[in-house]
Chains A and B, each alone.
Chain A
Amino acid sequence: MTHTWDFATIIQNWQVLWVGLKGTVLIFLVTVVLGLAGGLLVGIARYARSRFLNWPAMAFVEVFRNTPVLVQIIWFYYAFPILTGIEVNPFLAAVLGISLNTMAFSAEIYRAGIQSIDPGQWEAGKAIGMTYNQTLRRIILPVAIKRVLPALTNRGIEVFKMSTLASVVAYVETLNQAKLIADLNFNPIEAYTAVALIFFVVLYPVVQGTYVLERILKKGD
């Protein structure tokens, strides 16, 4: 069986994909910002000596790291509204699922970064009269975050790929739009190939950039 590739219908429908791509970028930006910023707070709480901060942070991280993202998104879409009475649209469900998951993963990255800093730095901060918060903010975090930058960019790449899961609750993003094109034009092969290529074209340079970043940081350390 030979198949003749025909991307004409895809090109005709580029606007449909364009809408999807915008949806993908929107959800990516929201979840990556919430996930990485929230993760920093959770990571700091996880590192704190106080049990009231440490234990809830640990429980949060374990729960969200040890359950699949899809389960989280579906739970927020179908179960969360019943529990709280809050109306949840596809966008909110996907944002909650993906950003909480990203918070948990990035929290562990930040924590590892903070732990990797020599204790002498903390002592030096204390010696010149800085409080815990000041030392953390002015001395520890700038170095720690620089060290974990490659791991954080990897997380960002994962988040971009994860955004496709939002299609499961019918949020309008690239994969969802490709499904639409495939159903209307009976061309799943071109539609899904196009999506795969879009993701590859977007992410490949980013991945290569991460390698470069890793090399530069290794040299600097």
Chain B
Amino acid sequence: MVEWNFLAVFSDFDLLMIGLSNTLKVTALALLFGVPLGLVFAVMRLSTTRPLSMAAAFIIEFFRTTPPLVQLFWFFFALPILIDVRMTPFIAAIVTFSIQSSAFFAEIFRGGIQSIDKGQWEGAKAIGMNYRQSLQRVILPQAVKRMIPAFMERSIELLKTTTLVSTVAYADLMFQANDLAQKTFRPLEVYTVVAVMYFLLIFVFSQLSIAVERRLAQSGESTVR
């Protein structure tokens, strides 16, 4: 029978808390850059200028069909050879997850924008708005509301994907767990505690997104998935 001993884990719990805050930091920064970039890709893809929409389609499909771990390795090991930059695990993580999630956000934005009735575009045009104004003032405010559930689901996926940064030695929660498991020789307790930490964190966000979705359903908004 296994004897569980959590003492070693909890005496070094601050190590895990540092990891947790780094995990949240990477997630937040990737969202900060990924969401606007996703909007740009979506608008490009919906553009009637063919080269523009094809370029956006290629970027989106490429980042959606290649594994995030491969992208991370590429940005971390390969990009510094191509362009002269000092790559740190942190920068590689932010760049990878911003672009990767922007590809998914772009599709959410596109779905949201396309779900808006054509009459809204025509109405905006009729009162003299140009494309940009219609998008900004009429279409997006309605589309964004419909996108919120899909958007939150993607953000939770992103939070889970950030565990990959541990493979390029960025000190996120997963990396700190590996570190602590080696130091304490207590992999069972360390990895179990970390799994529970991730579970609680993600579970809270999931429940929150379910609550928001219910609230939106009440206000009569269909959801785009």
Which A residues fall within an 8 A CB radius of B?
Answer: 1, 3, 62-63, 65-72, 74-75, 78-79, 82-83, 157, 161-165, 167-168, 175, 178-179, 182, 188-189, 192-193, 195-196, 199-200, 203-204, 207
Contact status A79-B192, CB under 8 Å: yes
9 new A-B contacts at CB < 8 Å, known A66-B198, A75-B195, A196-B62: A69-B160, A70-B174, A71-B163, A71-B174, A74-B177, A79-B192, A188-B77, A193-B74, A207-B65
CB contacts under 8 Å to A, within B12-70, are 61-62, 64-70
Q: Which of A67, A163, A200, A203 contacts B195 (CB 8 A)?
A: A67
CB contacts under 8 Å to A, within B73-94, are 73-74, 77-78, 81-84
Chain A residue with minimal CB distance to B225? A151
Contact status A188-B198, CB under 8 Å: no
Q: Which of B74, B199, B202 contacts A192 (CB 8 A)?
A: B74
A79 to B161 alpha-carbon distance, docked (Å)? 21
Question: If the complex has contacts A3-B82, A193-B78, are A161 and B68 also in contact, measured as CB distance less than 8 A?
Answer: yes
Q: Does B194 contact A (CB under 8 A)?
A: yes
A39 to B108 alpha-carbon distance, docked (Å)? 26
Chain A residue with minimal CB distance to B64? A207
Contacts of B178 in A (CB 8 A): 74
Question: If the complex has contacts A71-B194, A74-B174, A83-B2, are A192 and B73 also in contact, measured as CB distance less than 8 A?
Answer: yes
Contact status A168-B167, CB under 8 Å: yes
A182 to B2 alpha-carbon distance, docked (Å)? 41
Which B residues fall within an 8 A CB radius of A?
Answer: 2, 61-62, 64-71, 73-74, 77-78, 81-84, 160-161, 163-164, 166-167, 174, 177-178, 181, 187-188, 191-192, 194-195, 198-199, 202-203, 206
A74 to B181 alpha-carbon distance, docked (Å)? 11
A124 to B178 alpha-carbon distance, docked (Å)? 56
Contact status A192-B194, CB under 8 Å: no
A65 to B195 alpha-carbon distance, docked (Å)? 12
Contact status B164-A196, CB under 8 Å: no
- Minimum distance in angstroms from B106 CB to a CB of chain A: 14
- Minimum distance in angstroms from A20 CB to a CB of chain B: 12
Question: If the complex has contacts A78-B181, A83-B2, are A196 and B191 also in contact, measured as CB distance less than 8 A?
Answer: no
**30 contacting pairs across A/B (C-beta < 8 A):** A1-B82, A1-B83, A1-B84, A66-B206, A67-B195, A68-B160, A68-B202, A74-B177, A75-B191, A78-B187, A79-B191, A79-B192, A82-B187, A82-B188, A161-B65, A161-B68, A163-B67, A164-B69, A164-B70, A175-B67, A188-B73, A189-B77, A192-B73, A192-B77, A193-B78, A196-B66, A196-B74, A199-B70, A200-B65, A207-B61
